[in-house]
Structure 1
Amino acid sequence: MMLDLRVLNYFLTVAREESITHAAEALHLSQPTLSRQLRDMEEMLGKELMIRGPRRITLTEEGLFLKKRAEEILSLASHTEQELRSDDTELNGNIRIGSAESDSVRFIMQTAHKLQSHYKNLHFHVTSGDGQAIMEALDKGLIDIAVVYGHVDTEKYEVLPCPYTDHWGLLLQRSHPLAAREAIRPQDLWSENLILSQQVLQANSHGNKLQTWIKKPFAELNIQATYNLAYNASLMVREGLGSCIMLEKIINVPPYDPALCFRLLDPVLEDTLFIVWKRFQLFSKGTQQFIHLLKEEAEKIRQL
């Protein structure tokens, strides 16, 4: 016996509402019917998925696992249905992109706008995250295109390098002594309180490149905080937790900003963003056209 998509939706509604009564109202079901469906699912799986308290429903460890999987399954099912129902005579539907934070993403958005200006019923959905989470979503079919830094298996994926290059630098308070420098050298940071992204601290090409530049293991640096969203990192810098090593232009710091400034690293440290999709993947016509246009636009920029 297999899991029913309908019952998975019931389960997610209960998890969201934390109440059988409220979930039944939202689903337009009777409370006994909903309770029976959930009990049947638990019996089929041989697992207790939720603890039925007097005031609220809480998920067990197995329930939390199923919640995550159910969200992925229902999202993929919805995505598949939309593609099959799409009108073959006109480009329409949804294109899902998982992306790292980078100013180079501007190129992808410009290309999306160019395509959407001709096909108004084509919609783009962008999810931000770290490289590992984005590639997992790509492998599971939850997104069509990944935008990441670092090494990508070219036997498994098609890879298009972004035509722009990103530069690393230091976001710091304008009152900091290093703000008087035109650029930041490795030894300038050896005794500084630093803020680094969680992805950089992982053993990957992104982090290895920065560690080679700084000429010290991360364990020997004064890393006071970590982040996965650049805006949060900028708040950390503003509030004095440390100075943040990040890519240029992720945070807009105007020259007249009284609190923050950005200084490039010296010697220059560059990174390239990669646009990635599965080899031999069957895409909707809209996604096919978008990938084709990305290749064309990237080639035009490289020839300038």
Structure 2
Amino acid sequence: MNLDIQQLKTFITVVREQNFRRAAKVLNVSQPTVTMRIKALEQMVGSELLKRHGNQLTLTPSGEMVMKYASKMLYVLQEVKDHLSSIPVSKDRYSIAVIPSFSTYVFPRILQPRYSQGQSQYNVQSASSAKIFQLLSDRAIDFGIMRGPVKQTDQIESKLLYSEKVYLTLPINHPLTEQEDIYIKDILSENIITYRRRFWSIFSSKVLELGGDFKPKMVVDSEITAKKFVKYNLGVTMLPEYCIRKKDLATVTFKEIKDFHIKRDAYCVFERGQNRSIVDEFYYWVQSTLEEDKREARLSL
């Protein structure tokens, strides 16, 4: 009999929560997944484990026995993980997934020889925050850098890495560059260039609140393309702070929108119980490089 740890953990959570839906929420999986795991566990032990009585779940005799030993097994497993995490571990290759803006503007700098850690090698991929969370849940990566908020689970931890504002980006000769204070109403008649980022949905909702109508002129694939189009005087856009570089000042101008304040948080995410010295080393490595990047390449606004 090969017992599956995820099935045992799901079974214990269902019993504690007395509800499949709440158990799914705690485990950060779908309710059908919870049901499937319980059925698979019942098939494995060859007996029904739970009985429904209205809104109540009760353990069958077999369920009581499985509950008793499953709890012991998971306790012992956690003890083993705790002991192993205290043992220094060296690793030659790390798998890392990062959000697109970070992989474009910051991570190449982090991997430069003067910043990179020793002789370690890296598998790096760019992915959405949702995909990064899933990769980490599946233990397909060692670390992720993703947008918040990060859902806390019994498997994943997170540490705030940085916060950034979003700025209106204009061609250098645009009339609004001379205006001291810019509001949402001032840009609605402009050729607005958008791309797929959550703050555009927030912006659209804000426009509706103000009684306006938001109709972007163009939708492009990324902030890189949007910035390039602004440089060629094809419209205006909004860019997050980490996309704004000192060299951009030759062709574009960045301004704050007075009635649209939004901050985007980025987090370092990793598996709960991972060796803390490795986590701290990675986090400090990224943080120190971000500070260097801020001093040397980013535009202070």
- TM-score band by shorter chain is 0.5 to 0.7
Q: Please, what TM-score do these two structures have when normalized by structure 2?
A: 0.53
Greater shift in the superposed pair: 175-184 or 291-300? 291-300
Out of 173, 177, 180, the position equivalent to 2:178 is: 180
Provide, for residues 169-215 of structure 1, a one-character-per-residue CA deviation record: whole Å limited to 9, x for no partner. Answer: 01221122212234532222222221222132xxxxx4555446556
Provide, for residues 252-293 of structure 1, a one-character-per-residue CA deviation record: whole Å limited to 9, x for no partner. Answer: 253751x3222223244322211122435xx6x7xx644222
Conservation of the 8 A alpha-carbon contact between 1:104 and 1:165: no
1:291 aligned to 2:279?
yes
Task: Describe the shift of the 1:255–1:208 C-alpha distance in structure 2 as closer, same or farther (beyond 3 A).
Answer: closer
Structure 1 segment 1-20 matched on structure 2, within 5 A: none
Q: Residues of 1 paired with 2:179 and 2:212: CA distance?
A: 26
Task: Give the structure 2 partner of residue 167 of structure 1.
Answer: 165
Task: Describe the shift of the 1:112–1:227 C-alpha distance in structure 2 as closer, same or farther (beyond 3 A).
Answer: same
Structure 1 segment 136-175 matched on structure 2, within 5 A: 136-155=134-153, 156-162=155-161, 164-175=162-173
Out of 230, 245, 249, the position equivalent to 1:237 is: 230
Q: Secondary structure at the match of 1:254?
A: helix
Q: Secondary structure at the match of 2:173?
A: coil
Task: Give the structure 1 partner of residue 101 of structure 2.
Answer: 101
Higher Cα Rg, which structure: 2
Conservation of the 8 A alpha-carbon contact between 1:160 and 1:276: yes
Q: How far apart are residue 101 of structure 1 and its match? A: 1.2
Q: Over the residues paired in the alignment, what is the CA RMSD in angstroms?
A: 4.1
Greater shift in the superposed pair: 221-230 or 243-252? 221-230
Q: Please, what TM-score do these two structures have when normalized by structure 1?
A: 0.52
**How many residue pairs are counted as aligned between the two chains?**
201
Amino acid at match of 1:173: P
Give 5+ residue unaligned stretches, structure 1: 1-87, 201-205
Amino acid at match of 1:96: I
Give aligned-pair identity as a percent: 16
Q: Secondary structure at the match of 1:222?
A: coil
Task: Give the structure 2 partner of residue 135 of structure 1.
Answer: 133
Give 5+ residue unaligned stretches, structure 2: 1-87, 291-301
Q: Residues of 1 paired with 2:210 and 2:135: CA distance?
A: 31
Conservation of the 8 A alpha-carbon contact between 1:191 and 1:222: no
Q: Residues of 1 paired with 2:109 and 2:144: CA distance?
A: 13
Q: Residues of 2 paired with 1:249 and 1:157: CA distance?
A: 26
Task: Give the structure 2 partner of residue 279 of structure 1.
Answer: 272
Amino acid at match of 1:126: V
Out of 182, 188, 191, the position equivalent to 1:190 is: 188
Q: Residues of 1 paired with 2:224 and 2:211: CA distance?
A: 23
Moved over 6 A (4+): 111-115, 297-301
